[in-house]
Amino acid sequence: MKTTKALAKKLLPKRKKDGNKGDFGKVLIIGGSKNMGGACVLAGLSAYKSGAGYICMGMPKSAHIKAVPKLLEATSLILADTSGTINAKATTQIKKHIKNIGFDVMLIGVGLGLTSAVESIIKNTNLPLVIDADAINYLAKHKKFNIIKNKISILTPHPKEAGRILNISATQVQKNRLKYAKQIANKTNSIVILKGHETIITDGKKHIINTTGNDALAKAGSGDVLAGLITGLWAQIGKQKQFTKKSAFESAVLATYLHGLSADIASKKLTNYSVLATDIINHLPDSIRKVSK
């Protein structure tokens, strides 16, 4: 099965005329490090543009200083860190903030750096999870995917990260993308988005292949945008349909389609050479409008 505009329209979350920001989902983003503060901004902007109602960026102080002026609409949480990378002490802060705010879903990993905080945070929180980038790399390196088997989660590996999860090369992954995407989904009990040409979304049994996007997406930051988009849409869809593997799968399918469509629209204006991650975000309203017609 492949994605279509009709399917995307069907999956697009409805907007309540009398809705408040809580109705459209509260998103917590855990990421950023000394030299990668922009990742949280890209994810946060994308989540907001998807329609999510409330975003908080949890990051170390060094990233916080750079990120906050770039996303005035988001709240922020300065987390305990060691040399610009959050450490396990941040877990207590995060747990307290989740209790105070009532977040619906958490994205972890964008610009994070490799840190044991990933394991501590995942083990000690109970939110639905979008696991991206260095959170994937940490879990793969330390063979810790057992800690997410009883959680509702979405994993977003590119081929190299997929190879790390399965202890094979990216080249091998690319030779049979569907087979290995399903293996990862079954190994982790997660929804898996195997990024790349004709991105695959699977729960380990059923799968769908995305039909939008182009080589303009092969640029730093586009994965952060996708991670934020998934999280923002799931915050809304989960609020309407409950946070289940089904709503996770639907959110992953819709986000991947809109992400690629935004790149397609941007490329027509800017060429495939010149599209930046921020251009994908800026064209999300165009892709949502096109799908909703």
The CATH number given to whatever domain includes residue 65 is 3.40.1190.20
d(CA 92, CA 120): 10
**60-69 pLDDT per residue, tens:** 999 998 898 9
Tens digit of pLDDT per residue, the chain (293 long)?
A: 999 999 999 999 999 999 999 999 999 999 999 999 899 999 999 999 999 999 999 999 999 988 989 999 999 999 999 999 999 999 999 999 999 999 999 999 999 999 999 999 999 999 999 999 999 999 999 999 999 999 999 999 999 999 999 999 999 999 999 999 999 999 999 999 999 999 999 999 999 999 999 999 999 999 999 999 999 999 999 999 999 999 999 999 999 999 999 999 999 999 999 999 999 999 999 999 999 98
Q: How many domains does the chain have?
A: 1
Domain that holds residue 220: 5-10+19-292
CB-CB contact of 263 with 213 (8 Å) = yes
Can you say how many angstroms the Cα of residue 276 is from the centroid of all Cα atoms in its chain?
Answer: 18
**Distance between CA atoms of residues 186 and 202, nearest Å:** 10
pLDDT tens, residue by residue, 4-27? 999 999 999 999 999 999 999 999
- Quote the pLDDT of residue 14: 95
Q: Which one, of 50, 43, 7, 26, lies nearest residue 249 by Cα? A: 7
